[in-house]
Amino acid sequence: MTHTVRMAGTTTSPGAGGAPARVLRLRGATLGAGVPAVCVPLVATTPDRAAADARALPPGVADVVEVRLDHVAGSAGDPALATATLEAVRAVLPADVPVLATFRSAREGGAQPADDAAYAAVVLAATRAAGAVDAVDVELATPDRLRDDLLAAARAHGVPVVVSTHDFAGTPSAGALVDVLRRQRDVGADVCKVAVTPADADDVLTLLQATRTFAREADRPVVTIAMGGLGLVTRLAGEVFGSALTFGSVGSASAPGQLDAVRLREVLALVHAAL
């Protein structure tokens, strides 16, 4: 199977303040234009279970499938398990559905402990899983040298990178969030991603304000999420503010506040039609 990953031209994204936003195409998914893509995470504990979960996804429900490698038992100590899981999932997915490989660190909500070296080893193994991976997640908080090495490896293998930051303690100011997104861009993110934990509706507004501010200047897709029930609007109406992708669950969720992916797609279409 041909591994298709390419950057497309510049477009204008509705709700992003009229700013040019570069579109990232991963197989059949487009990030940065039109209806936000729906990413469905798989949180299985073994390669076989991950493949079974991928095979069971309803047709058309996932624009992107995220394989949460931190949920694969023992993967922190054996990167080959990560590679096997990605290959098993790729083998059963439709050809047009891309795979995002993510090993979430414990500091940012991951399922198993891993020191920085173990984290980097798993992400590097995913990057090298030729043909099985269409994008990888690299946390901005990864120590600079390791993060830069991972980004360089991804570039060498032609694999786009989602540079991410997750705050499970609260919601920084809008200015601080914009600074984080800019830092992600500056280190070489193909997609900039921030998730926060709101304490009240004002925190949700803070995230949306930061999203809109960054989207005005963005030259690549941005993804922002306020987790939990309070942040529901950010998962449903991100297109209005410039967010290019949202996460929905089929079965087990990977983060607080994820909605059923089928129902999520219905709402996203409704919002898009009104814009």
User: Do 222 and 211 touch, CB atoms closer than 8 A?
Assistant: yes
> Which are the catalytic amino acids?
166, 193
Q: What is the mean pLDDT of residues 145-174?
A: 97
Residue 19 or residue 173, greater confidence: 173
Look at 20 and 138; give whichever has higher pLDDT: 138
Q: What is the pLDDT of residues 245-256, one digit of tens each?
A: 999 988 766 566
**What is the amino acid identity at position 203?**
D
Which pTM was predicted? 0.91
What is the pLDDT, as a whole number, of residue 256?
A: 64
pLDDT in tens, 29-72: 999 999 999 999 999 999 999 999 999 999 999 999 999 999 99
Domains along the chain with CATH numbers: 35-274 (3.20.20.70)
- Angstrom CA distances, 3 to 9, 71, 82, 89, stand at 19, 25, 19, 15
Can you tell me the distance from the alpha carbon of 156 to that of 165, in angstroms, rounded to the nearest whole number?
23
- Please report the pLDDT score of residue 255 as a whole number: 61
Task: Give me the chain's average pLDDT, please.
Answer: 91
Regarding beta strands 135-139 and 161-166, do their DSSP bridges make them parallel or antiparallel, or are they unpaired? parallel
CB 38 within 8 A of CB 261: yes
User: What would the mean pLDDT of 168-179 be, rounded to a whole number?
Assistant: 97
